[in-house]
Amino acid sequence: MNATIIGLGLIGGSLSKDLKARGILNHVVGVDANATNASEALKLKLADEIKPLEESFNTDLIILAIPVDAIKKMLPEILNRINPKTIVIDTGSTKEGICYEVRSHKNRNRFVAAHPIAGTENTGPSAAINNLFDHKVSIICEKELSDKDAIETAAKLFSILKMKLIYMNASDHDMHLAYISHLSHISSFALGNTVLDIEKNHKNIFNLAGSGFASTVRLAKSSPDMWQPILEQNSENVLKALDAYIQKLEQLRKLITEKNSEEIHRFMAEANEIRKILENI
């Protein structure tokens, strides 16, 4: 099977590495709007050759691994120009807006709306790693709007990536991800900025930072190019999750102000329940 991968960063590059190493992809054409990334990706063998998009349609499979605003913009044009048998799979972290954009496209049936939930806080071709997707979850939305062969191919690819596949509607996907992923990123970005601000006046504060801070603030290293459009495309759900989060913080704030030891303790003990859940991740 041959493929064109659009976007050779963390996700696109890692997909290329594993799908080639595991024998399902023979030849990968890479497309990357950023010339530096494109040449780095070629050097790292994330693609066999780099081509402009307009010369990359003659392929079995097109994978979109670019920011969700770019997916939304490019997908209709790609569906206009594909061969009848080509399958297009996206990997975006939001699904409702993207699915809506192509809902009545004449070639909607060749598109599989997917979200392989994997990643690190790193960015660009050099962030691509083997085994990134192993034992993670991948979601396919609006299965019923894709051709059977397209879904079968996508399922096969995710199975080769050792992912657990879940089918779900796009609106549930976006709501769940707002809580389970997008809110984590927001809390880390805000934590990073809070501590960077105070550090301006108190140099060397970071000498005291331990592994707990590093873990909590890790996602603040994530790519703004990827995350700004995710928060905007999923703004309705994200704002609900963020409001719920601020409310929890205000609740704890009040308890600390009131020196309500018992309720502060209970707040934390309740959060401890996350332990059971994390064991299953």
| Of 18, 1, 16, the residue nearest 152 (C-alpha) | 1
Q: Across the chain, which distance is largest between two alpha carbons, in Å? A: 67
Q: Which of 21, 33, 129, 239 binds a second copy (CB under 8 A)?
A: 239
Binding track, positions 61-90, relative to a second copy; x by CB under 8 A? ------------------------------
Minimum distance between the CB of residue 77 and a second copy, rounded to whole angstroms? 21
With respect to a second copy, which residue has the nearer C-beta, 148 or 275? 275
With respect to a second copy, which residue has the nearer C-beta, 43 or 164? 164
Would you count residue 273 as binding a second copy (CB under 8 A)? Answer: yes
Q: Per CB under 8 A, which of residues 148..177 are in contact with a second copy?
A: 166, 172, 175-177
End-to-end CA distance of the chain: 32
Spatial strand order of the sheet with 2-6 comes to 49-50, 27-31, 2-6, 61-64, 87-90, 111-117, 137-141, 164-168
**Contact assessment for residue 115 and residue 92, using Cβ atoms and an 8 Å cutoff:** yes
Q: Per CB under 8 A, which of residues 205..224 are in contact with a second copy?
A: 205-222, 224
Minimum distance between the CB of residue 139 and a second copy, rounded to whole angstroms? 7
Chain centroid, CA 77 distance in Å? 22
Q: Per CB under 8 A, which of residues 184..203 are in contact with a second copy?
A: 184-199, 202
Chain centroid, CA 7 distance in Å? 13
Q: Per CB under 8 A, which of residues 253..272 are in contact with a second copy?
A: 253, 256-257, 259, 261, 264-272
